[in-house]
């Protein structure tokens, strides 16, 4: 199942300005492959809107619990507010419209 993981933070916890947050971000990046492999999560892409302090990650996972565990193991939730949203391709949803 596809999920859009949206992580937001403010200037006070931004890795661009706060060394401790930068350390946590580097940890997340360094351990991403190891943690996602262990939890059977496939990262389909990730993007950053730096001025808005938003990180988007499209993942394919068995359930939201695995993604929640991923955010904890990667320390994402230590410097972000994380939202896990199930998503579907627009074409699939369009087929359901009467």
Q: Tens digit of pLDDT for each residue in 4-50?
A: 999 999 999 999 999 999 999 999 999 999 999 999 999 999 999 99
The CATH number for 2-96, chosen from 3.40.50.10190, 3.30.70.1060, 3.10.20.30, 3.40.50.150, is 3.30.70.1060
pLDDT at 7: 98
Contact 29, 15 (CB under 8 A): no
Burial of 70 (0-12, 13-18, 19+ CB in 10 A): buried
37: exposed, middle or buried (Cβ count in 10 Å: 0-12, 13-18, 19+): exposed
Question: Per-residue confidence at 79, pLDDT binned at 50, 70, 90?
Answer: very high
Task: Read off the pLDDT band of 74 (50, 70, 90).
Answer: very high
pLDDT recorded at residue 25 = 96
Q: Where are the domains of the chain?
A: 2-96
Cα–Cα distances (Å) from 80 to 10, 20, 21, 86, in that order, read 8, 13, 10, 19
Tell me the two tokens of residue 2. Answer: 């596809």
């Amino acid at each position: 199942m596809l999920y859009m993981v949206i992580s937001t933070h403010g200037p006070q916890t931004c890795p661009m300005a706060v060394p401790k947050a930068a350390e946590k971000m580097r940890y997340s990046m360094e351990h991403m492959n190891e943690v996602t492999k262990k939890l059977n999560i496939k990262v389909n892409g990730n993007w950053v809107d730096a001025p808005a302090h938003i990180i988007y990650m499209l993942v394919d996972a068995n359930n939201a619990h695995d993604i929640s565990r991923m955010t904890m193991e990667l320390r994402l939730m230590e410097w972000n507010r994380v939202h896990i949203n199930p998503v579907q391709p627009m074409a699939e949803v369009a087929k359901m419209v009467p």
